[in-house]
Structure formats: C-alpha cells, structure tokens
Amino acid sequence: MHCKILGIPVQDGAGRMGCEMGPSALRTAGLVAALGELGHQVSDLGTVVPKPQNVKPHGNPALKALPEIVAWTDAISEASYAAGEDGMPIFLGGDHSMAAGTLAGMARRAAEADRPLFVLWLDAHPDFHTLDTTASGNLHGVPLAYASGQAGFDGFFPRLHTPIDPTRICALGLRSVDPAEHTALRGAGVTVHDMRAIDEHGIAPLLRAFLERVAAEGGRLHVSLDVDFLDPAIAPAVGTTVPGGATFREAHLAMEMLHDSGLVTSLDLVELNPFLDERGRTATLLVDLTASLLGRRIMDRPTRSH
Ligand SMILES: NC(=[NH2+])NCCC[C@H](N)C(=O)O
Ligand SMILES: [Mn+2]
Ligand SMILES: [Mn+2]
C-alpha cells in the first residue's frame, strides 16, 4: 500500500486551541516508521495551507471562525482530492472540521471512479449540526452534515461536487448527541450505533454488518477517527472528552477488522490536542491504532530480522 500522509493543522473549529499541533505530534510519535515497518511505502505530502476568501455574515450569531473554516475547507477539499488520485491518504488533524474537506475530496474521487463512498464515523459525537442548529458555534460540530448535503451550507461553505448519501454513513461510539442532531440523523437515515449498542452487542457484529454492506455495494470506505471515540482514560489528549468511550481492545479490534476487510481507502485522525496529552500517550495510541488498521497484528507477524 502507498500511504500518503497529509498534515492539516486546523484548530479554529474546536472550542480550545491546540489541535494545530496534532500533525506534529503524530509525526513525532513515529507514524511514518510504524507504517514503513509494515512494508508500506509512505510519502509525506506536507501541510495544507488555508485559502482565505470573502464569506458573507451568517444569521447565527453563535458561529465562530466561519471565514477561517471556509478557507480551510476549500483548501482541504482540493488537497485531499489530489492526494486521493492513488494510494491511501491519511489525513492528520487538526480538529474535526477538517472532515468537511476530506469527505468532500474523497466523495468526488469515488464519484469519478463510479464507486459509492461509505463513511465510518468513529466519534463520541455525530458532528451533524448545520450552520443554523449549532448552539456552541464550534464548526468541528458540522462536517458530517455538510458533506452529506444537509441544508443550510449553500452560499457559505464551498459547493459540494458530490454529496455523500447519508444512508451510507455509519456512526459508531456516539454518547453525546444534541437534540437537533438526533432529529437530523434520524431524518437523513444515518446508521447510528451508540455506546449502549456497543455494550449490548459488542463492537464486532455492528461493524461487520456495515462492512458487509460496503463490500456488497462495491463501495470505497473513508474512516474518520475522532480521539474522543476512545475512552478518556486511555486517550486524554482531546478538548471534548466524554466518559464511557471505546476501550483499548475495542478500538484495536475495530482497526483489525477494518484491515481484514480490505475496504478502507482513506483515513482521518482528528481532534488530537497534544497540549492536553500526557507524555505523548494519546499520539502514540493513535499511531498504534493506525498500524492495526494497516495490518499490524499480534500473531502471525511477518518475520523481521533483528
Ligand atoms: N468534533 C467534535 N469534537 N465535536 C464536538 C461537538 C460537540 C457539540 N455537539 C457541539 O456542536 O458543540
Ligand atoms: Mn468529532
Ligand atoms: Mn467528538
């Protein structure tokens, strides 16, 4: 596999600063070497730079940093589309607002290849607000709604080349959903497995059912991994911790199953805030999870000479 790393140091979408250090922390934690050890070719494509533009004022006074996030989204959509020409792009965030751009770029690539794009959203939150419904005004709370063509982004965010069909999205690990998001998720037909479903059924059958659908429809699969999908006890470096998240083993199992499926075509690693980390342990965990997604396993490792 040719892994293409792209740094996206956006932090204006989050309520607190620090995510701009995310790409550096992931590189420092040894992402490139970890993927190289698995036999992958790795290219670091560098860092996305936002493209400032005029954005008219919006009626929702709560919105924060709208012009900045629009500038990022435009640049990220273009850069991720370019990176998606071949190989497997790995987008290093950056707060989750960056997924507005990565999803847009990946959806355009999939459409051009005449393949449906599926999205696995691993997160405590659905990030399914529109510009009108967000109360916090933090734009990391809107990317999934934007990329799946929900109303209210026209004239503010870049025009989508191809909106993602919301029924091809599976959100796994939810445990903090605002009322407006709840209504919108149900209305749009997003598949939602909250933490209760994971507790009750286990993560494996829920994920397996989704992967079988992706395979049956010949889809591509974009995985968006928010740090707060993980339990704060193992992943403290995030500004929006919610108790009761995925355990170490649940997360690795999900990554191993994703690898075995052979379906994943792109990945976001988002919301890492190194300012809140403890000696890099969250960054290191994200690198290890990414390695599991790209083929590292406990048994039957390829033999290495020492
Ligand atoms: N990407 C994230 N961490 N999103 C958290 C969003 C939290 C909340 N729903 C909000 O809109 O403010
Ligand atoms: Mn998120
Ligand atoms: Mn989240």
Ligand 1 centroid, distance to 127 Cα (angstroms): 6
- Is residue 36, in this structure, part of any structural domain at all? yes
Distance (Å, whole) CA 41 – CA 142:
33
**What does each C-alpha distance from 33 to 3, 43, 162, 190, 287 come to in angstroms?**
12, 11, 34, 36, 10
pLDDT at 118 over 60: yes
- Is residue 305, in this structure, part of any structural domain at all? no
Distance (Å, whole) CA 52 – CA 242:
33
Tracing tokens 């916090």 back to the chain, one arrives at 136
- Is residue 306, in this structure, part of any structural domain at all? no
Name the residue range of residue 93's domain: 2-300
* Angle at CA of residue 128, ends 122 and 131, nearest 5°: 145
Instruction: Report the pLDDT averaged over residues 37-45.
Output: 98
Whether ligand 1 lies within 6 angstroms of the CB of 78 is answered as no
Tracing tokens 């995310």 back to the chain, one arrives at 22
Q: What is the pLDDT of residue 205?
A: 98
Distance (Å, whole) CA 244 – CA 51:
38
Q: Which of 138, 142, 225, 238 to mutate to test the pocket of ligand 1 (most atoms within 8 A of CB)?
A: 138
> From the alpha carbon of 138, which atom of ligand 1 is closest?
12
- Is residue 38, in this structure, part of any structural domain at all? yes
Whether ligand 1 lies within 6 angstroms of the CB of 108 is answered as no
Q: Which amino acid is at 207?
A: L
Name the residues annotated as catalytic.
96, 123, 125, 127, 140, 226, 228, 271
Indicate if the alpha-carbon torsion angle 243, 249, 252, 253 is positive or negative.
Answer: negative
Q: Which amino acid is at 233?
A: A
Q: Which residues surround ligand 2, an ion (CB under 5 A)?
A: 96, 123, 125, 127, 226
Q: Which amino acid is at 88?
A: M
Distance (Å, whole) CA 73 – CA 102:
8
Phi, psi of 282 (to 5 degrees): -70, -40
- Is residue 263, in this structure, part of any structural domain at all? yes
- Is residue 45, in this structure, part of any structural domain at all? yes
pLDDT band at 300 (very low <50, low <70, confident <90, very high): confident
Whether ligand 1 lies within 6 angstroms of the CB of 240 is answered as yes
> From the alpha carbon of 95, which atom of ligand 1 is closest?
1
Report the nearest-CA residue for atom 12 of ligand 1: 136
Phi, psi of 37 (to 5 degrees): -65, -25
Q: In what order do the strands lie in the sheet with 191-194?
A: 41-47, 2-8, 88-93, 264-270, 220-226, 117-122, 169-174, 191-194
Number of compact structural domains in the chain:
1
- Is residue 29, in this structure, part of any structural domain at all? yes
Tracing tokens 């599926």 back to the chain, one arrives at 118
Distance (Å, whole) CA 298 – CA 301:
7
pLDDT digits (tens, 9 = 90+) for 203-243: 999 999 999 999 999 999 999 999 999 999 999 999 999 99
Instruction: Report the pLDDT averaged over residues 181-196.
Output: 98
Nearest CA among 248, 7, 172 for reference residue 256: 248
Q: Return the percentage of the chain with pLDDT > 70, whole number.
A: 98
Q: Looking at 26-35, 141-150, 193-202, 296-305, which range is the least confident one?
A: 296-305
Give the 3-state secondary structure of 242-296: CCCCECHHHHHHHHHHHHHHCCEEEEEEECCCHHHCCCCHHHHHHHHHHHHHCCC
Whether ligand 1 lies within 6 angstroms of the CB of 296 is answered as no
Q: Give the rounded distance of the alpha carbon of 83 from its chain centre.
A: 16
- Is residue 189, in this structure, part of any structural domain at all? yes
Nearest CA among 44, 99, 45 for reference residue 77: 99
* CATH number of the domain bearing residue 55: 3.40.800.10
